[in-house]
A = this chain, B = another copy of it.
Amino acid sequence: MSENRTDLSQIGEFGLIDHLTKNLEAKQASTLLGVGDDAAVIDISKDDALLISTDMLIEGIHFNLMYMPLKHLGYKSVAVNVSDICAMNGKAEQITVSLAVSSRFPIEALEELYEGINAACEFYGVDLVGGDTTSSLSGLTISITAVGRAKKSEITYRSGAKEFDLLVVTGDLGAAYMGLQVLEREKEVFKANPEIQPDLDGHDYIIERQLKPEARKDVIGFLKELEVIPTSMIDISDGLASEILHLCKSSKVGCHIYDEKIPIDAKTSMIAMDFNLDPSTCALNGGEDYELLFTIKQEDFDKIKGNPHMTIIGHMTNEQDGIYYVDKNGSAVTLNAQGWGHFKD
Contacts and interface: CB of A to CB of B under 8 A. Distances in A.
Nearest to A65: B1
Nearest to A55: B132
Interface in A131-173: 131-139, 141, 143, 145, 147, 149
Contacts of A7: 103, 106-107
Interface stretch (A46-54, A206-214, A276-284, A303-311): A46-54
Interface in A72-129: 93-94, 96, 98-101, 103, 105-112, 114, 118, 125-129
Contacts of A149: 30
Could you say which interface size class chain A belongs to?
35 or more
Contact of A4 (B16, B52, B106, B114): B106
Contact of A60 (B5, B34, B137, B141): B137
A68 B48 CA distance: 42
Contacts of A107: 6-8, 10-11, 16, 19
Give the dominant DSSP class at A's interface: mixed
A27 interface: yes
A290 to B, nearest CB: 15
Contacts of A126: 28
A42 interface: yes
A2 B21 CA distance: 43
A33 interface: yes
Given A52-B147, A107-B19, A109-B1, A61 B137 contact: yes
Nearest to A39: B130
Given A8-B106, A103-B343, A108-B2, A20 B114 contact: yes
Contacts of A1: 70, 106, 108-109, 112
A342 interface: yes
A114 B30 CA distance: 22
B28 A94 contact: yes
Contacts of A19: 107
A134 B342 contact: yes
A135 B342 contact: yes
A97 to B, nearest CB: 9
21 contacts: A8-B110, A8-B135, A11-B107, A13-B135, A21-B128, A24-B127, A28-B127, A31-B93, A35-B128, A42-B147, A52-B147, A54-B98, A56-B141, A56-B143, A58-B100, A61-B135, A61-B136, A103-B343, A134-B342, A135-B345, A141-B141
